[in-house]
Structure formats: C-alpha cells, structure tokens
Amino acid sequence: MKFETPRILPSDITSRDLFLDRRRVLRYAAAGAAFGALGAGVSGRALAATIAAPGAKLAYTPNAALSIKDPPNSYEDITTYNNFYEFGTDKSDPAVQARDFKPLPWKVTVDGEAEVKGSFDFEDILRPLSLEERIYRLRCVEAWSMVIPWTGFPLAELIKRFKPTSKAKYVEFTTLMSPRQMPGQRSPVLRWPYVEGLRMDEAMHPLTFIAVGVYGQMLPNQNGAPLRLVVPWKYGFKSIKSIVRIRFTELQPKNSWQVAAPSEYGFFANVNPSVDHPRWSQATERRIGGSLLAKRAATLPFNGYAEQVASLYKGMDLRRNF
Ligand SMILES: Nc1nc2c(c(=O)[nH]1)N[C@H]1C(S)=C(S)[C@@H](COP(=O)(O)O)O[C@H]1N2
Ligand SMILES: [Mo]
C-alpha cells in the first residue's frame, strides 16, 4: 500500500536545489510529467528538503513554544561530538568514519500492526509535511548534555498516516544494517542492527520529533541522516539514528542497550537525577562546549520536560522502570 501523496511539478524545485543533485531532480521531473497537473497542498519547503544533498539548506518555521531558551551548542560541537557506534565508539569517530556514508536514496519499511504498510521513499515520507525547528536539550546517559536546534516534524504526523491498529501498543525503530558502509558493525560492540522503541503514547506525544536537519541544514551523516528520532525527555540512546524500519507491535520492543546491559539500561530511559547509572551518578551533568572549569549543572527530571510528560508515567515505579 502507498501513501496518498500530493503531486508535484518540476517548477516547485528551485534552481538552488536543481544543481545539488541532478539525477534526483530528473526523477522528479519525470514523476511530475507522469502525474500531470499539480494537486493542492504541496509543500514546496518539504519538497526542497527531499531533493537536497546532505548539508543543504532546509526551509522551516521556528517552533518557539516547544523550544527551550538556552543558547544552542555550536554546529561544530553538535557534529563532532557524537555517539553513533555504527561509525566507531569514540565521540570523534562518527564525523570521520561516516564521511562516505550514502543517506540518499533512502527507504523506510513500515510493518506490523498497521493498516498502511510497505516500503516508502524518504521523499514520499517528507512530501506532505512542513518542517519546523525545535531547540531541545540532549541529555546523554554518560552525564553530559548539549542544546541542539533540530529541523523536522512530529513523529505523530507520520504515524497517523500508517493507521496503526488497536493492537499497536509500541513502535519499534531499526537503523540501517550495512557493515560495508558502517565499519562499527564489523565488531560485536552491540547486537546489530541498532533497535529502539517507544510506547505508543510516548511516540504520539507532541514533543517526540523526527529530525531531518540540524541548524536548518540537512542532517550530517554522523547525526543520523537522513532521518532520526529525537525524544527530548529521555537519555540520548533512545534517539535512534538513520532509521530504515518502523514496526508497530503489541509487545514491548527489545532495545539494543537494554539487550546489551539490562542492569544498566532499561526500556523507558527517562532522564532521572534520582536513579543513578550503576557505575556513575545522574544527579548532575556537564554541558558540552562550556568551560571545563564551569560547575556541573543539576540534572532536571525528564530533562526539564516533566510538566509535559510526567503524566505519561502516572502510577509507574520509575526506579523499577528505568
Ligand atoms: N543507530 C544509532 N543511534 C544512536 C546511537 C548509536 O550508537 N546508533 N547513539 C545514541 C546516543 S547514546 C546518543 S547520546 C545520541 C547522540 O545523538 P547526536 O550525535 O545527534 O548528538 O544518538 C543515539 N542514537
Ligand atoms: Mo548517549
């Protein structure tokens, strides 16, 4: 089954985009010709995103209401201090080892408990959406944090189009498996491919975001191109990168870090200053980019988003469900 997508005209493609990737543009021109007249509701902004090369500019609307006021980290910090074990376990590895990764063309397979399933081009996923910018705090389980201006769209917008059935209680996400392109997958650091999951209410929450860009530019490979999850109230490992599969399930997915070390990483992974990692404290955090002499800041429950999300966990023991 396919999405019902609005039609496009080659004239929607700006000259700036045209030279970025001629092959893809030609594909669009052919599709435009085949579909004939332009339908209503086409987002030129989204379309520009779909044919852009990594690093190319995206058009977006800032979402101030869902952004924090802290000044964002530099583009340099955000793109050179990364966890992406598919490209090495040092934080400086992904920027170097992901250089030749090919994020386009890209397909996402949707299956499980949903009415609309199949294999969708990244372009078909983006076409009806308009992009927004949200400045979120990223809190890593290693007790550091960053502030990142993401460009993307709410995951809920995407999920609705797949029409999950009443049996869909969770959503599972899977990263690309490609040891040829991802050298980290040649070592058994984790069980590959990387898998993450959310409960359906977490996935549908307005803060849960799919990022396709950072600082208004298409995601660099090391940040999870061409699309990755961002769940701002959870530890960073929940925010799975370079997603190729979305599966709706009745049972709780087995996420990679929980499988690797069940006593250290759980399924929920909500940022919680009062539940320490067995090997270090979660009470404070170090802001990347600041002075090394700067005081560590107190970690906020749910990474500062308690007001919006604490109700999702009413009645749950968050020490047991860490
Ligand atoms: N596929 C995949 N996704 C991943 C990871 C990974 O190793 N592989 N690392 C996670 C961790 S631990 C963090 S902190 C964030 C970092 O995201 P960033 O590089 O955009 O800051 O990505 C998460 N997503
Ligand atoms: Mo992390």
Q: What token pair was written down for 84?
A: 């992406």
pLDDT of res. 28 = 34
Residue with tokens 């006593």: 263
Return the number of other C-beta atoms located less than 10 Å from residue 165's C-beta.
12
pLDDT-derived band of residue 204, with 50, 70 and 90 as boundaries? very high
The residue whose CA is least distant from atom 15 of ligand 1 is 236
Cα separation, 154 vs 162, in Å, equals 14
The alpha carbon of 148 is separated from its chain's Cα centroid by a whole number of angstroms, namely: 12
For the chain, give the mean pLDDT. 87
| Over residues 201-217, mean pLDDT | 97
* Dihedral sign computed on CA atoms, order 322, 184, 224, 304: positive
Measure 33 CA to ligand 1 centroid, in angstroms.
40
Of 210, 237, 282, 287, the residue with max ligand 1 atoms within 8 A of its CB, to mutate for a pocket test, comes to: 237
- Are the beta carbons of 127 and 6 closer than 8 angstroms? yes
Q: How many CA atoms lie within 13 A of 252 on its CB side?
A: 11
pLDDT at 321 over 80: yes
pLDDT at 54 over 90: no
Helix or strand holding residue 246 (H, E) = strand 243-249
- Using a pLDDT cut of 70, give the percent of the chain over it: 83
Cα separation, 202 vs 253, in Å, equals 14
| Over residues 234-239, mean pLDDT | 98
Q: What token pair was written down for 59?
A: 């058009």
- Orientation angle between helical segments 44-51 and 22-35, nearest 10 degrees: 140
Q: What token pair was written down for 282?
A: 């979660």
- Beta-carbon contacts of residue 261 (< 8 Å; ≥ 6 apart): none
Residue 146 pairs in a beta bridge with: 138
pLDDT of res. 36 = 27
Residue with tokens 């061409």: 226
Q: Which of 209, 213, 211 is nearest to 58 (CA)?
A: 213
3-state SS, residue 317: coil
Query: Which of 39-43, 286-290, 311-315 bottoms out in mean pLDDT, i.e. has the lowest?
Result: 39-43
pLDDT of res. 16 = 36
Query: Which of 31-35, 76-80, 176-180, 235-239 bottoms out in mean pLDDT, i.e. has the lowest?
Result: 31-35
CB of 282 shorter than 6 A to ligand 1: no
At the top level of CATH, the class of 58-313 is alpha beta
Helix or strand holding residue 47 (H, E) = helix 44-51
pLDDT at 215 over 60: yes
Q: What token pair was written down for 12?
A: 């929607």
Measure 235 CA to ligand 2 centroid, in angstroms.
6
pLDDT-derived band of residue 53, with 50, 70 and 90 as boundaries? low
pLDDT of res. 13 = 35
Q: How many CA atoms lie within 13 A of 284 on its CB side?
A: 5
Residue 50 or 111, more confident: 111
CB of 73 shorter than 6 A to ligand 1: no
Of 73, 79, 81, 83, the residue with max ligand 1 atoms within 8 A of its CB, to mutate for a pocket test, comes to: 83
Amino acid code (one letter) for 19 = F
Residue 228 pairs in a beta bridge with: 211
Atom of ligand 1 nearest to the CA of 94: 19
pLDDT-derived band of residue 309, with 50, 70 and 90 as boundaries? very high
Measure 148 CA to ligand 2 centroid, in angstroms.
14
Cα separation, 113 vs 248, in Å, equals 5
DSSP code for 57 = B
